[in-house]
């Protein structure tokens, strides 16, 4: 088991996991269920993490994730219409459905 990456959103981690699964790479999500230990560690360490099951898949898995990250910038954006903050993976506001531009 090797840690691939972590993200502040389980949606992102799940997206990566599905991506790897499509390539036949098995991975596991850690910190999926944030619970009682959270207050003892910095919150960044409680982000969901993606671990590759087979170390031999690590390099390929990392390449896949890196290519996806560069394809779709994941910087959060603020809706001009309602002011709601949205994740970078969304093209429309989740709250009012206004588009990003
Ligand atoms: Zn909005």
Query: Tens-digit pLDDT profile for the chain (101 aa)?
Result: 999 998 878 888 999 999 999 999 999 998 866 544 555 555 555 678 999 999 999 999 999 998 877 665 567 889 999 999 988 878 889 899 998 87
**CA-based nearest residue to 28, from 63, 2, 65, 62:** 2
Q: Is residue 24 part of a domain?
A: yes
Domain containing residue 59: CATH number:
3.30.70.1530
Does residue 22 belong to any structural domain of this protein?
yes
Task: List CB-based neighbours of ion ligand 1 within 5 Å.
Answer: 79, 81-82, 84, 93, 95-96, 98
User: What's the gap in Å between 75 CA and the centre of ligand 1?
Assistant: 16
Any domain includes 93: no
In a domain, 99, yes or no: no
* Structural domain total, the chain: 1
First to last CA, the chain: 41
Q: What's the domain range around 44?
A: 2-73
**Does residue 67 lie in a domain region?**
yes
């Amino acid at each position: 088991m090797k840690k691939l990456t972590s993200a502040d959103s389980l949606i992102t981690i799940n997206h990566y996991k599905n991506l790897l699964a499509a390539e036949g790479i098995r991975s596991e999500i850690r910190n999926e269920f944030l619970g009682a230990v959270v207050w003892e560690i910095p919150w960044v360490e409680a982000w969901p993490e993606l671990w590759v099951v087979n170390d031999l898949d690590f390099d390929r898995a990392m390449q896949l994730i890196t290519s996806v990250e560069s394809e779709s910038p994941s910087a959060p954006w603020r809706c001009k219409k309602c002011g709601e903050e949205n994740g970078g993976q969304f093209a429309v506001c989740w709250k009012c459905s206004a588009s990003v531009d």
